[in-house]
Every structure is written in C-alpha cells, then in structure tokens.
Amino acid sequence: MKQFDIASIPGDGIGIEVVPQAERVLRAVADVHGGLAFQFQSFPWSCQYYIEHGVMMPDNGLEQLKPFDAIFLGAVGDPNLVPDHISLWGLLIQIRREFEQVINMRPAKRLDGIQSPLQNPKDFDLVVIRENSEGEYSTVGGRIHSKEDEVAIQNAVFTRKGTERVMRYAFEVAAKRKRFVTSATKSNGIVHSMPFWDQVFKEVSADYPAIRTESQHIDALAAFFVTRPADFDVIVASNLFGDILTDIGAAIMGSIGIAPAANINVNGNYPSMFEPVHGSAPDIVGKGLANPIGQIWTAKMMLDHFGEEELGTFLLDAIERVTRKGTITKDLGGIHSTEEVTDAIISELHTAR
C-alpha cells in the first residue's frame, strides 16, 4: 500500500469550502484504485489564525510542513481582517521561498461544456512552466535622489543555474506530452538577459533531440494565446513573462474558478505546494457557489507530481465528463452547488472504475 502524507492548508474564504471537497475526491480516487492511500493533516493557518495569534503561522510552521509529501493549499487572504501584504508574505510567499519552489506550473486546457471567451478555442491543451525564483522579480536595485532628479533602477537576475533548471523541467514535462517546447523570449528588445536565455535554451534543447522547439517573442506569443492557443504544448518562460501568460491561460479557460497551479521544488529537499489560481473569493463565501474544479484539478496535478499520472488523467477525464453534462456552478453559467459538482465527479470516478 502506497501512502501519501499531505499537509492541507484550507486558508480563508472559499479555501475552507473547496479543500475538503477536493480531499473527498482524492479519497475516492484511492478507493477506486485500491493500492493507495492519502493521509491529510489540516493546518488552520489563515487570517482568522492571525487574529488569534498575531502571526499567519507559528514560528516552527515550516518545520511542521517539511516532512510531508506535498502541501495542498486553498486560498489565503481576507482583506477585512488582515491586509493582503501581511497574509500573503506571512504564509504563501514564505513557503514558496523557503521550500525552494523554483518552478510554477499552470496548465490551460479547454474543457467540454465550458464556454471560453474565445470564439474558436479549438481543443487547446497547454502548460506554462514559469521560473519562480529570480528573473525580473528580483529585489536588486534601488531609488536615489528626489523630485526631477529621482532615479529608479530595477535589475533582472538570470542565473545559469536557474535558467537551465526551468528549461530542463520544461523539456521533461514535454517528453510526457506532445513533445513541443516554446520558449518565451524578447531578445530583440532586451539585449543581455534574453540572448542569454536563448543561448541556454539552445544548449538544453540539444540534450532532447526528440523534442521539437521554437522561440517566440513574448508580445507575439501573448497574442497567439488568444488567436491560436491550440498550437502550443509546453511554454517555458521567465518570471514576469510566465506571470502574464498564465493569466491569459486562465482567462481563455472560461473561469478563474477552474484554473489549477503548482509550485514545484525540484531538488527534493522540501515538499512542493499545490494551490488553485483563484483567491478566497469573499464575495461568494458561505453560499455554496464556489466552483470546486480549480481545487480538484490542482489535486490532479499533485497526483501527476507523485508519479501517478494515469490516476491524474483518470481524474481529469471524470471532471470533464461532469462539465460536459452541464453539472457546473454559477460562475460557469450553471445552477449546481460546490457539493453537487463534487458529488458528480466522485460518482463519475466510481462509474469509470
């Protein structure tokens, strides 16, 4: 019997509603499979926790999380209780940084039964692999002088280690998919870091002769995500470019409520963290309106990460059969509750057994 130990952090708002639903789904996956078990331990770290303890998580919070196979997070943030920068930096950012989750991965796929804002979305199925630790989002730089003499300098940091690491990861992912990697560049305008990025991409791609490659400038690529998303498989991007592309990816899927994400640790020293793209959605909390699919699809990414890709596909197929039948929440134009959608997915898992 294989067992996976998972640290659950439901967090705030609808995180508290969708995480238990996704746990139910994972238990059902284990039931159907047989030789597999998930053990969840839930941590109450959230804005409510901050009100009671003055911190988002205890001092030894990271030590408590370290032994787990993965962290399964809902959403953090309740601006009425705690300013966003405190809740974000006190928990999420700390986990991402300290646990060296240097890669952010976000798929975007058209699901049957879900209306994309695109007129002709075809069957797009892509994944953006974003560098998550350096690049344009660095703290190197500063401001000097004032008034009309004021100067702001923000330096981008591209290390060979970080650049090669994200590219290798992208190629490994592509090897299990349609074997096509697109590099997001801008070497026609950014004359130091992006030619370096292109050079490393070329070098790394030489190690993967079976994988087709292309480079696209980020501005054109952003437009192609809208005009022909079905042409892409894996896209590797720097921190800023990946940030922008993944928001387009989520938008063309039809609702932020279904978009999944993963923060991956690649050196094996710490657990990776799986969390949907959406936040705590204070406007719909407590009404049964939260779409559970983002959290459940995130669970699928966790299965893939555990090497259980067949089960991951099995789960995503069940999700899509449910959307195809129109069992969807209000954000997608449906009438079903969080729990009804989850029940339908679980029932599909059992039917497909």
For residue 86, state whether it binds ligand NAI (rule: CB under 6 A): no
Q: Which does 303 bind (CB under 5 to 8 A by kind): ligand NAI, Mg ion, none?
A: none
Distance between first and last Cα of the chain: 19
Candidates 71-79, 146-154, 219-227, 296-304 — which segment interacts with ligand NAI by CB under 6 A?
A: 71-79
For residue 294, state whether it binds ligand NAI (rule: CB under 6 A): yes
For residue 291, state whether it binds ligand NAI (rule: CB under 6 A): yes
Q: Which does 243 bind (CB under 5 to 8 A by kind): ligand NAI, Mg ion, none?
A: Mg ion
Token pair for residue 107? 């798929």
Yes or no: say if 55 and 21 are a contact pair by the CB < 8 Å rule: no
The amino acid sitting at 170 is A
Q: Which does 103 bind (CB under 5 to 8 A by kind): Mg ion, ligand NAI, none?
A: none
Token pair for residue 35? 């030789």
Candidates 69-77, 126-134, 148-156, 233-241 — which segment interacts with ligand NAI by CB under 6 A?
A: 69-77
> Closest separation between CB of residue 15 and ligand NAI, Å?
7
Residue nearest to Mg ion (CB): 243
Q: What mask of x and - would describe binding to ligand NAI in positions 120 to 159, judged by CB under 6 A? A: ----------------------------------------
The amino acid sitting at 78 is D
> Closest separation between CB of residue 243 and Mg ion, Å?
5
> Closest separation between CB of residue 32 and ligand NAI, Å?
25
Q: Please identify which residue in 9, 29, 75, 181 interacts with ligand NAI, judged by CB under 6 A.
A: 75
> Closest separation between CB of residue 150 and ligand NAI, Å?
30
> Closest separation between CB of residue 350 and ligand NAI, Å?
24
DSSP class of residue 323 equals H
Cβ-Cβ contacts under 8 Å for 226 (sequence gap 6 or more): 118, 248, 252
> Closest separation between CB of residue 130 and ligand NAI, Å?
14
Yes or no: say if 129 and 184 are a contact pair by the CB < 8 Å rule: no
Our CB check for ligand NAI shows the closer of 77 and 200 to be: 77
Q: Which does 298 bind (CB under 5 to 8 A by kind): ligand NAI, Mg ion, none?
A: none
Instruction: In whole angstroms, give the CA distance from residue 261 to residue 249.
Output: 11
For residue 280, state whether it binds ligand NAI (rule: CB under 6 A): yes
Paired sense of beta strands 234-237 and 180-185, if any: parallel
Q: Please identify which residue in 52, 59, 63, 283 interacts with ligand NAI, judged by CB under 6 A.
A: 283
How would DSSP label each residue in 128-157? Answer: EEEE-SSBTS---EEEES-GGG-EEEE--B
Instruction: In whole angstroms, give the CA distance from residue 89 to residue 55.
Output: 11
Q: Which helix (H) or strand (E) holds 202?
A: helix 193-206
Taking only Cα atoms into account, the Rg of the chain, rounded to an integer number of angstroms, comes to 20
For residue 10, state whether it binds ligand NAI (rule: CB under 6 A): no
Dihedral sign (CA 335, 338, 340, 342): positive
Instruction: In whole angstroms, give the CA distance from residue 54 to residue 50.
Output: 5
Instruction: In whole angstroms, give the CA distance from residue 90 to residue 101.
Output: 16
Per CB under 6 A, residues contacting ligand NAI are 14, 75-79, 84, 92, 256-257, 275, 278-284, 290-291, 294, 329, 331
